Amino acid sequence: MTRWEYIEKVHMLKQESYRLDVEGWLQYELFTFPWWILLAFFICPWLLWFALAKSSMLMESLLFGALIIIPTTYLDAFGLELEFWIYPIQFLPLAPRAIPFDMSMVPVAFMLIHQYFSTWKTFSMALLVMSTLFAFVGEPFSVWLELVQYHKWNYVYSFLYYIGIGLTVRWIIVKIKSSASA
């Protein structure tokens, strides 16, 4: 088999996998109770953010959210590839598979914390509370609802990720703001 034949075979298998994924989504997932929960998880955080967002911090908040979305989405794709977790139900049959979590619930929570807790001390305390709730309440609840199944993952890892990414992105934003005002 040549390199190009191999690439073509992989491409055909990916196409078949996607076809089966869409077929299964249409037949077994779309409009089920868990699917409606994912829809709510996608829409409600953004509605909350629009209601609570401070217009004076709009661009900063959106940058904060984007800087959360990027690594969170990559980590999610990485974890799926390594089979740390799976998503038995999808909001949409597209990648990334955890759109309501990666692009709504998680970034919006971080954005609101960033807006309403402006000092490092208050931000860190709010981040600790949010990380605890997400890792030890929200994620087990999502497992119970069968929205995700963890195989090689522990809630403590999620807790540490939320803390680490929150502090890192906050540090980046503070650095950008201080260099812009200098």
The whole-angstrom separation of Cα 107 and Cα 89 is: 21
Query: Is the confidence at residue 127, as pLDDT, over 90?
Result: yes
Q: Which residue has the higher pLDDT, 95 or 170?
A: 170
Longest CA–CA separation in the chain, Å: 61
CA dihedral 122, 127, 132, 137 (to 10 degrees): 110
What pLDDT was estimated at residue 29?
A: 95
Query: Is the confidence at residue 138, as pLDDT, over 80?
Result: yes
Mean pLDDT of 31-53: 97
Mean pLDDT of 159-182: 94
Q: How confident is the model at residue 122 (pLDDT cuts 50, 70, 90)?
A: very high
Q: Which residue has the higher pLDDT, 96 or 36?
A: 36
The whole-angstrom separation of Cα 151 and Cα 85 is: 5
Cβ(113)–Cβ(166) under 8 Å? yes
Contacts of 143 (CB under 8 A, 6+ apart): 149, 150
Query: Is the confidence at residue 1, as pLDDT, over 90?
Result: no
Q: How confident is the model at residue 78 (pLDDT cuts 50, 70, 90)?
A: very high
| DSSP H or E run through 86 | strand 85-86
Cβ(173)–Cβ(64) under 8 Å? yes
The mean of the pLDDT values for the chain is 95
What pLDDT was estimated at residue 181?
A: 78
With H, G, I as helix, E, B as strand and everything else as coil, classify residue 54: coil
Q: How confident is the model at residue 166 (pLDDT cuts 50, 70, 90)?
A: very high
pTM of the model: 0.92
